[in-house]
Amino acid sequence: MNLLPLLLTLLPGAALAAAPAAPSPLKLTASTSVVTKTTKDGKTTETLTDASRVGVVPGTTLDLAQTFQNVSARELGGLKLSMPVDKAVIFQSAGCTVAGVTTLYSVDGKTFGPAPLKKTVTVTENGRQVQKQVEVKPSEYRAVRWEIPTLKAGASGRCAVRATVR
């Protein structure tokens, strides 16, 4: 826990010498790629192209990825990697290359749970208003969170969301 903000709040007149920030033990890189599938001789191949280099139009499938590496000499634990799903895209799927990861989803970007998510809706049955629990469609997901229990020293991984441009 970083106590510096608390100390600055409690000691408003105190002058603290700034210590050099420790390097992060986790190197994180985000990318957005266009997914292109081609079929040749019955085999489908997938190509990822940096989205800034090609046109993105409605119907384009995107790969929204976060790659990460533990650059420290020790194991990291309790990592939570979150990715918002913009309203300009329709969520399709999520995946992660790290063993033991738990993938959670959200419709509001604040509360997360395992799929399938549920919501309460009010419907009319036999002339009466009734509340029912129904499954949330994946297209309604607005965020994904991957909880990574441990990442060994030097280990790396990739977590990604597939989405279609509206």
pLDDT digits (tens, 9 = 90+) for 99-120: 999 999 999 999 999 999 999 9
Task: Tell me which CATH code domain 20-103+141-165 carries.
Answer: 2.60.40.1170
Task: Identify each DSSP E strand in 41-71 by its residue range.
Answer: 43-50, 61-70
Work out the pLDDT band at 5, boundaries 50, 70, 90.
very low
Alpha helices for the chain (secondary structure H):
4-10
Q: What are 134-163's pLDDT values in tens digits?
A: 999 999 999 999 999 999 999 999 999 999
For residue 24, what are the contacts with CB-CB under 8 A and spacing of at least 6? 71
Q: Which residues pair with 78 in a beta bridge?
A: none
For the whole model, what pTM was predicted? 0.80
Instruction: Tell me which range, 16-20, 21-25, 122-126, 161-165, is most confidently predicted by mean pLDDT.
Output: 161-165
Share of the chain above pLDDT 70, in %: 88
Q: What is the pLDDT of residue 18?
A: 57
The tally of CA atoms less than 13 A away on the side-chain side of residue 111 is 4
